[in-house]
Structure 1
């Protein structure tokens, strides 16, 4: 069997390396976060976990989901609702429909020390309208009205306007994900993303944790940037969205 691969920045294919010992929590970082640092945010039914929908769209199924687990997921999401998964592949029962599947990569930064930057500002709830506007224009991935509550969001302003940002999202034990890395198109090519990723990484390192991140496998420009900063491929993954069927089709449902 050949090793799975993802499109490299060079346009070639790179094999996915074996996972390092001690990084198993990254196999399902959503679940590890909701059972740990983000337990106060967890919405739970049976063995199914998810974030509040205005915080993050991610959910987590147990490693061996059965009909009752899928019924619980359906109850959490509601009829016709979507369940976004990024942990181990889980095959839903008949009636569920896959409505999205984005191939991705997971990279870890064991050797990324980070660097503080005097020009970087901390972002909070008052900055959310600007953050949402920047995300809408740059589309780095999910960022919702309460995502900022996950903490550690930093930005760079020019003329008072927010032109670049990055922050911390998932928090499995010993690790913190760098996410929402984006730059206004008019300010790209000036190293702002690099400065922000290193600044966020510095804050993660100060807690004694290790940074990691995800990227769409097709986003070769971002992957190349992260590799230059010292991140390395840990595994290929995916962001899969499945939709809850009509109530009479939910296997195991009431």
Structure 2
């Protein structure tokens, strides 16, 4: 079931996002695309071939670090591999049920962009940029006028929504904030016919256990490739 439409898009998620639901955030043309600078450091190629990577170089600045997701072809001169990040790609196909509580979840918008950037860079820097919040709906939890937990929507494809930027200030962990934010976003997507998915490093066993507890199942292993344009 998870290899039929729309799930096969998840084998090359950035490509299908950039050529579909999120095309307004894309630069480039077939067979290569990237998110606009300041939005997300992700690029994509239609098929994993070296000539497509050569074409992608025209969208990159010298020394620019970027990510490809999925199959990586042999690299051409001018693109170097920095790191492979193997991830579990997980999907959720039923609502998350959590006990009722008094946690107040707040929709986040442009007025909160600095708060979002500061919290995410404090907890898990590298993937989130100042305007990443424009890609989808973000939600947060505040304590004493401070944003202490966040989750949001990153890559959005036809009938699929990636849940990302899941983080909590270390001073406020252990309060189930992440669970309630994930449930809020996932249940909203399921109600509108979109299947939530996420990516988590294979080494992050604690997070994987949490997502499994919430009902996510692993569809496949997929790698995020950190690359740099060297010329």
Global fold match (TM > 0.5): yes
- Runs of 4+ off more than 6 Å: 114-118
- Per the alignment, residue 50 of structure 1 pairs with 34
Q: Would you say the 8 A contact 2:96–2:215 is kept in 1?
A: no
Q: Distance in 2 between matches of 1:83 and 1:98?
A: 10
- Per the alignment, residue 4 of structure 1 pairs with none
Q: Does residue 25 of structure 2 align to residue 41 of structure 1?
A: yes
Q: Would you say the 8 A contact 1:140–1:182 is kept in 2?
A: no
Q: Would you say the 8 A contact 1:143–1:180 is kept in 2?
A: yes
Question: Which residue, 191, 216, 231 being the options, matches 2:201?
Answer: 216
Q: Does residue 114 of structure 2 align to residue 129 of structure 1?
A: yes
> How many Å apart are 1:83 and its aligned residue?
3.2
Residue deviations 1:51-82, cap 9 Å, x none? 01211111101214242x22321110123323
User: Structure 1, unaligned stretches of length 5 or more?
Assistant: 1-17, 247-254
Q: Does residue 10 of structure 2 align to residue 31 of structure 1?
A: no
Q: TM-score, normalised by structure 1?
A: 0.84
The structure whose residues are more often strand, as a share, is: 2
Q: Distance in 2 between matches of 1:88 and 1:112?
A: 31
Provide the alpha-carbon RMSD of the alignment: 2.0
Q: Would you say the 8 A contact 1:114–1:197 is kept in 2?
A: no
| 1:171 alignment partner, SS class | strand
User: Structure 2, unaligned stretches of length 5 or more?
Assistant: none
| 1:54 alignment partner, SS class | coil
**Distance change >3 Å, CA 46–CA 175, structure 1 → 2:** closer
- Per the alignment, residue 108 of structure 1 pairs with 91
Q: After alignment, is 29-38 or 103-112 more displaced?
A: 103-112
Q: TM-score, normalised by structure 2?
A: 0.91
Count of paired positions = 228
Q: Does residue 59 of structure 2 align to residue 73 of structure 1?
A: no
Larger gyration radius, structure 1 or structure 2: 1
Question: Which residue, 186, 200, 212 being the options, matches 1:227?
Answer: 212
Q: Distance in 2 between matches of 1:85 and 1:123?
A: 28
- Per the alignment, residue 43 of structure 2 pairs with 59
Q: Distance in 1 between matches of 2:105 and 2:124?
A: 21
**Distance change >3 Å, CA 210–CA 113, structure 1 → 2:** farther
